Amino acid sequence: MRGLFISFEGPEGAGKTTVLHKIAARLKEQGRAVTMTREPGGIPIAEKIREVILDANHQEMDGKTEALLYAAARRQHLVEKVLPALEEGSIVLCDRFIDSSLAYQGFARGLGMDDVLAINLFAIEDHMPDCTIFFDVPPEVGLERIWKDTEREQNRLDLEELEFHKRVYKGYQEVITRAEGRIQVVDAQKSELQVVENVWEIVNSEVNLKWNS
């Protein structure tokens, strides 16, 4: 049976990566096959594209170039990693996917959500996630968290002005409205423990729906 494709979305510092690892561990404890991955990246070609996009020295990068690079990385990652894992019946937990492009490039960069959706549908065809979890945190709170993290190297997108990050957040609200129920929202201002529990409820229910009904 085909696996389950779940994406994690939200602004910078929302806690997606932290929680994704904890959820993967719980699923593995249940004996489930799990694939953890991220965008941009997850496979060598896409990790190289990630380096180009996020290099803090590449300030001259054009917005459309940025959008196309994200879509190119997404295509390769999808065909090389996500689809084969789903074919094998794995639960794929993906740190960001198409909704990031809609919020960051489509809305915050001002390229237009419809145009960014069009290039991404060319890249992913009809392979949308089965479920998406949005980590809801105000941009100021998320940025504060990543600034406190001394081990994190600030990338080109992290270094955008606060106004950009506010537009990203607004973009996500628009994406959620358009998603017609695919995206479930979690209050990511709660403690890490509480967020893990809330995300677990969603993931567990999706897994049960798929395999136990």
Ligand X SMILES: Nc1ncnc2c1ncn2[C@@H]1O[C@H](COP(=O)(O)OP(=O)(O)OP(=O)(O)O)[C@@H](O)[C@H]1O
Ligand Y SMILES: Cc1cn([C@H]2C[C@H](O)[C@@H](COP(=O)(O)O)O2)c(=O)[nH]c1=O
Q: Going residue by residue from 63 to 92, which x/- string records binding to ligand Y, judged by CB under 6 A?
A: -------x----------------------
Rounded CA gap, 154 and 10, in Å?
17
Q: Going residue by residue from 133 to 172, which x/- string records binding to ligand X, judged by CB under 6 A?
A: ------------xx--x-----------------------
Does the protein bind ligand Y through residue 39 (CB under 6 A)? Answer: yes
Among the listed residues 177, 41, 27, 137, the one whose alpha carbon sits nearest the alpha carbon of residue 97: 41
Rounded CA gap, 33 and 51, in Å?
29
- Which of the ranges 7-15, 61-69, 119-127, 202-210 carries the binding residues for ligand X, by CB under 6 A? 7-15
Radius of gyration of the chain (CA): 16
Q: Which does 198 bind (CB under 5 to 8 A by kind): ligand Y, ligand X, none?
A: none
Q: Considering the complex, state which of residue 70 and residue 198 has its C-beta at the smaller distance from ligand Y.
A: 70
Q: Which does 157 bind (CB under 5 to 8 A by kind): ligand X, ligand Y, none?
A: ligand Y
Is 17 annotated to bind ligand?
Answer: yes
Residues 6+ apart with CB under 8 A from 40: 46, 47, 49, 50, 53, 54, 69, 70, 73, 74, 77, 96
